[in-house]
Amino acid sequence: MQIAGVDIYVNHPVLHLGATDWVPLSLALDTAPAASCDTHVAVRVRPQRGLIKVRLFAPPDDPQTEGPDAEFITVFDGSLLLPDGRIAVGDVEQLTRFVRRVGDRGQFNVRVAVNAPGPDASAIDIIITSPSK
pLDDT in tens, 13-55: 999 999 999 888 888 888 899 999 999 999 999 999 999 999 9
pLDDT at 133 over 70: no
For the chain, give the number of residues: 133
* pLDDT reported for residue 67: 74
Per-residue pLDDT tens over the stretch 55-92: 999 876 666 666 788 899 999 999 999 999 999 999 98
Give kind and range of the element (H or E) at residue 43: strand 40-44
Question: pLDDT value at position 65?
Answer: 62
Q: What are phi and psi of 82, to 5 degrees?
A: -115, 95
Confirm if 46 and 13 have CB atoms less than 8 A apart.
yes
Determine the Cα–Cα distance for residues 110 and 51; give it in Å rounded to an integer: 23
Q: What angle do CA 96, 68, 40 make, to 5 degrees?
A: 45
Q: What is the pLDDT of residue 38?
A: 95
Instruction: Look at residues 87, 131, 81, 128 and name the one whose alpha carbon lies nearest to residue 106.
Output: 81
